[in-house]
Structure 1
Amino acid sequence: MAMASCPAGDPNASPKHSNGHASPLDLLRRFHKLQVERVEGYGQFEEAFNVFIDGSSGQEAQEHNFNAYKQRVAEITMAFRRISEEIIHIKNSLRDTHNKAEISAIIEKIQDLEETKLKLTADLQIARKNAADEPDNDDMNQVVANLRQRLDGLAQEITETLEDLKYESEDLYAQEIDDETLR
């Protein structure tokens, strides 16, 4: 298929085929880049929380740190929203334009798992803050431990689902190799 370039300056654009749509493989590559961005976002989320927790001594410092934390969380949330919207577009394009319902369904499952992970991560941060405020509260420490265990299980499920996506999309990568061999 003939390739046409996307408009310059659009950071979300990927190469388009002559039919005006990104190929399924291009969409998958973009999905994987977005997953990397999401992982980086979780790192930033954790870093912001640690700065908030570590520096929260004294009333004035707590207020400043909390306001900085809230601002950082708002920025990270906007990034997660953008990533999610783009992944939904990828999922819909794979299903509706390219007739890749199986791959689309796996991406949808990953989206659902990631949504749950984000909620659990926020719950864990709240629980960790409460545990830091009441270090002798065994119930609060148990809540933190349970949330961490649930997040670990969820991370494992996401990894397994990403593996499912890899296996389901192998034929797309094989087709690309075949196409390059024929050139």
Structure 2
Amino acid sequence: MTDKDFKLLLKRFYELQAERVETYHLFDEGHQAYMKSGPHYDFIQYRMLVHEITQAFNGISKEIIQMKDRFQEVYDRSDLAEHLEKIQELEKEKLSLTARLQLAKQNVQDHPSQESHKEEVQQLKHKIIKTVEAISEVLQDFKYDCEEIQ
């Protein structure tokens, strides 16, 4: 494999991360529309959205796992493979937290007098922020470790 192949692999990784960001944006927009359909929520439409979002994230994850293997096996760069593995773990955590946050927001909307739901929303938002910060740190490490090639 050449430096050009390596650079194309890096470029594709960053494209996939951008796709993740866009997918989260669509997920958030869809959830906002779902919340506006309350109190008789359009669950069928939302379930279709969740299915599409899940498929998008699965496709991105599969491709990144393949990249991780290429960094490990083709380029003998276990450092980069480890970064991708950590990013995958953090992205999985972020998605789980995001789903929990959406449910918590619905609980706040459906039961506005229960403070525990509002507290849960705040706690989940904080955890998501911390997870995004951790992803950013790993992305910085990944970029730093790749700079010698570029």
Q: TM-score, normalised by structure 1?
A: 0.78
Letter of the 1:154 partner, please give it. Answer: T
For CA contacts below 8 A with separation 6 or more, give which structure has more relative contact order. 2
Find the partner of 2:23 among 36, 41, 56: 41
The answer to whether the 8 A contact 1:34-1:83 is kept is yes
Offset at 1:172? 1.3
Query: Which residue of structure 1 aligns with residue 48 of structure 2?
Result: 71
Q: Deviations over 1:35-92 (max 9, x none)?
A: 00000000011011000001224x4xx2xx2110110110111010000000000010
- State the aligned residue count: 149
Letter of the 1:49 partner, please give it. Answer: H
The answer to whether the 8 A contact 1:52-1:66 is kept is yes
Structure 2 residue 38 is matched with structure 1 residue 56? yes
* Distance in 2 between residues matched to 1:156 and 1:102, nearest whole Å: 20
Query: Which residue of structure 2 aligns with residue 104 of structure 1?
Result: 81
Offset at 1:24? 2.2
Structure 2 residue 9 is matched with structure 1 residue 27? yes
* Distance in 1 between residues matched to 2:8 and 2:71, nearest whole Å: 10
The answer to whether the 8 A contact 1:127-1:140 is kept is yes
Larger Rg: 1
Letter of the 2:24 partner, please give it. Answer: Y
Structure 2 residue 122 is matched with structure 1 residue 145? yes
Offset at 1:136? 1.1
| Identity of matched residues, % | 36
Q: Deviations over 1:155-182 (max 9, x none)?
A: 1111111111110100111xxxxxxxxx
5+ residue gaps, structure 1, are 1-16, 174-183
Letter of the 1:71 partner, please give it. Answer: M
Letter of the 1:86 partner, please give it. Answer: E
Letter of the 1:24 partner, please give it. Answer: F
Letter of the 2:114 partner, please give it. Answer: N
* Distance in 1 between residues matched to 2:149 and 2:102, nearest whole Å: 40
User: Alpha carbon RMSD of aligned pairs, Å?
Assistant: 1.3
Offset at 1:23? 2.2
* Distance in 2 between residues matched to 1:23 and 1:114, nearest whole Å: 26
Task: For residue 67 of structure 1, give the secondary structure of its aligned residue in structure 2.
Answer: helix
Query: Which residue of structure 1 aligns with residue 108 of structure 2?
Result: 131
* Distance in 1 between residues matched to 2:109 and 2:148, nearest whole Å: 50
* Distance in 1 between residues matched to 2:122 and 2:30, nearest whole Å: 21
The answer to whether the 8 A contact 1:27-1:94 is kept is no
5+ residue gaps, structure 2, are none
